Structure 1
Amino acid sequence: MANVFVSTFPFCRSDKVAIEHLLKNGHNVNVNPLGRKMKPNEVLEHANDFDALIAGTEDLTPLVENTSQLKLISRVGVGLDSVPLDLCIKKSIAVAYTPDAVSPAVSELTIGLMVDLMRQVSFADREIRKGQWTRPYGNRIGNTNIGILGFGRIGKRVASHLLGFLPKEILVCDVLDKTTEIEAIQNLSQELFTLNAKLGKNWNQTIIRQVGLDDLVENSDILTIHVPLLENTKNLINFDLMQKMKPTSFLINTARGGIVNEEDLFEILKSKKISGAALDVFEEEPYFGSLKDFENVILTQHMGSCSNDCRADMEREAAEEVVRFFKGEPLLSKVV
């Protein structure tokens, strides 16, 4: 039997299977009592005497530095920038994560933000609430160039979702050679093109190709970010890079706060060097910064994973790793 603290918020909001699994296997469970994302010292204060931690994106460094009790961190999600892995190795703290469950929800939200930005859906909603009615014009995803920075689990899903919208090109930028993955999605595009031709629809086929970062930024009508927050991606999207974007382009970040320099983005938007942005993640959360003053910016509450099914899967998988660990069984998604 282990004492388990859950720092992530929310947890088991719509499905109780994760906590039920822990309790059924004899573990004591305490859940984040604050009703919000915990700050680093709050995690330390609440979780210091526990055997296992089910964590979200909270910074776990103070806890790992000070704990003598913790044996396992089980991440609800995929990003590991908040977990001091080297220190975990040094202190023999095992780390697991849930890399697959989050992908469907984040990729679908990304597509929704693309449509919202280009068609000014949120802007129109705000106008109606103010008693205004201008019927703003926008653009379709079709016949545009979509840039995807990072072609892992989520980036690939975004690309596959986009095929039905018939963009002109999907531009992929990744530090790895993604030829195999691109060929697979290009084959899907070819199948869709062939099907449409049989139906008498003379629609163009989407081209997918891998490009460098400058090419991606300069030629994308929408640039969507799907890379982890690492030392080499911190502030990667800065003023110098963003000013290379088209003035008609949009920026979307559903990956991690800190990849986009928010102060630089403010200046880019203020000088109207791009047409708008959508951010689901921020360097400091909850977010209260100045980007909320722009009408052409959509801000959401780090809710990329927050579909009922994906969230339940993530929580269940994290809880299952805790149960496996204390039964002495191998972890399915072990990081260290």
Structure 2
Amino acid sequence: MKSVFVSTFPFCRTSPKALELLASNGYKVTINPMGRKMKPLEVMEAAKDFDALIAGTEDLTPLVKETTHLKLISRVGVGLDSVPLDLCKERGISVAYTPDAVSPAVSELAVSLIIDAMRKVTYADREIRNGEWTRPYGSRIGGSTIGILGFGRIGKRVASHLLGYMPKEILVCDLLNQEQSMERLQKLSNQIFEMNQTIGKNWNPTKLIQVDLETLLKRSDAVTIHIPLNDNTKNLLDAKAMSTMKPEAVLINTARGGIVNEDDLYQILKDQKIAAAAMDVFLDEPYNGPLCELENVILTQHMGSCSNDCREDMEREAAENVVGFFGGGSWERVV
């Protein structure tokens, strides 16, 4: 009987389908007993003698170095910064992931955080709880310039969601030429414009433009991050980069902790060099750092994927990857 350790938390909180799939195919499953994100050495000790690991965003380097038994790592999600791929290849450990299931939930959260930060929704909630009532003014997406850093699965979804709000322009920064994808979205933008014209609205179509990072930061009223964490993107948004943003701009990170330098962000926000930030991801999680002291930052619990349907899809697909790998069926592998 093959054994599977599940380190990701939560797992099967709202649906038992992933566990049922593994059990019905004869797998012995052990689930993270800690009720929180496991630390790297904890994962190593717990999972080193298992055949497969269903993992979250835990750093798996100590496990991969130590184990002589593990054959498969199946990631619940798309990010692979926590998986030492070269070392896995060297040690004969295959890696699978669930690249599509997470996109709808993360993209919707990103848009909601843009609105929250620009309209000061959470800030107003805090005021009421403190007995205050200033009715703070904010900015709309409509007529604004929104910057999307990273135009993969999630970045493209964010752009499509934003079009209905009719921003003035969407700036895209990506390593790849995104001309074809942007042309398709531009056609959608034009259709939305025509639809609004028929009901008497005086809009202009949103323009989609690919730019470099410097231009994106300088021109955007909101910047939302959708790139992986790697050696090239760690601390990509440091004090120097963020100081080029507009004073009224907001910064949203639902990608990975470490892309935005948290110490620099704290100082930028404290000095009010940008208006606000929303952070769903952190270098160390759970987060309990100095950003908690500030009123102009929204902090959420790495919950971009945490919609009921997307978590169920991600967990089921991670289990399907295990079954497919050991059973000779199909599985979504990392190249």
- Which TM-score bucket, shorter chain as reference? over 0.9
Q: 1:305 aligned to 2:305?
A: yes
State the match for 2:319 in structure 1.
Answer: 319
**For residues 274 and 132 of structure 1, what CA distance do their matches in structure 2 show?**
23
The corresponding residue for 2:109 is 109
2: distance between equivalents of 1:328 and 1:313? 21
**1:258-277 CA deviation, whole Å, 9 max, x = no partner?**
00000111111122110010
Q: Which amino acid aligns with 2:279?
A: L
In the TM superposition, 1:238-277 aligns within 5 A as: 238-277=238-277
Matching residue's letter, 2:47: A
Per-residue CA distance 1:179-201 (angstroms, 9 max, x = gap):
00100100100111111122222
Deviation at 1:133, TM superposition (A): 1.3
**1:323, 1:330 → 2: CA distance?**
9
RMSD value, Cα: 0.8
- Describe how 1:220-235 pairs up with structure 2 within 5 A: 220-235=220-235
CA distance in 2, matches of 1:330, 1:64: 24
Give the secondary structure class of the aligned counterpart of 1:122: helix
The answer to whether structure 1 residue 24 and structure 2 residue 24 are counterparts is yes
What is the aligned partner in structure 1 of residue 200 from structure 2?
200
- What SS does structure 2 have at the residue aligned with 1:165? coil
What is aligned with 1:174?
A: 174
One-letter code aligned to 1:3 = S
Listed one character per residue, the Cα deviations across residues 64-121 of structure 1 (whole Å, up to 9, x for unaligned) are: 0000000000000000000000011011111000000000000000111011111111
In structure 2, give the amino acid aligned to 1:334.
R
* d(CA) in 2 for partners of 1:166, 1:198: 15
Alignment of 1:209-220 (within 5 A): 209-220=209-220
Counterpart-to-counterpart distance in 1, 2:83 and 2:67: 14
Q: Aligned equivalents of 2:193 and 2:225: distance in 1? A: 27
Structure 1 residues 221-256: Cα deviation after superposition (integer angstroms, max 9, x where no partner): 001100000110010001110000001101000000
Confirm whether residue 335 of structure 1 aligns to residue 334 of structure 2: yes
**Match of residue 126 from structure 2:** 126
Are 2:51 and 1:51 equivalent residues in the alignment? yes
5-14 vs 123-132, which deviates more? 123-132
Q: Give the whole-Å Cα distance in 1 for the aligned partners of 2:272 and 2:10.
A: 36
Counterpart-to-counterpart distance in 2, 1:191 and 1:205: 8
Q: Distance in 2 between matches of 1:139 and 1:221?
A: 9
Q: Equivalent residue of 2:171, what SS?
A: strand
TM-score (norm 1): 0.99
* Alignment correspondent of 1:279: 279
Describe the SS at the equivalent of 1:146.
strand
Tell me the equivalent position of 1:33: 33
Q: What corresponds to 2:189 in structure 1?
A: 189
Give me the identity figure in percent: 67
Q: Cα deviation per residue 1:38-80 (whole Å; 9 max; x = unaligned)?
A: 0000001111110000000000000000000000000000000
Give the AA of the match of 1:223: V
CA distance in structure 2 between the aligned counterparts of 1:148 and 1:46, rounded to whole angstroms: 39
Distance 2:330 2:105 in 1: 28
Number of positions where the alignment pairs a residue of Structure 1 with one of Structure 2 = 335
* Corresponding residue number in structure 1 for 2:68: 68
For residues 281-333 of structure 1, give each alpha carbon's deviation from its aligned partner in whole angstroms, at most 9, with x where no partner exists. 000000000001110100000000000000000000000010111112242x1
Structure 1 unaligned residues grouped into runs of 5+ = none
**What are structure 2's unaligned runs of at least 5 residues?**
none
Equivalent residue of 2:224, what SS? Answer: strand
> What TM-score does the superposition give when structure 2 sets the normalisation length?
0.99
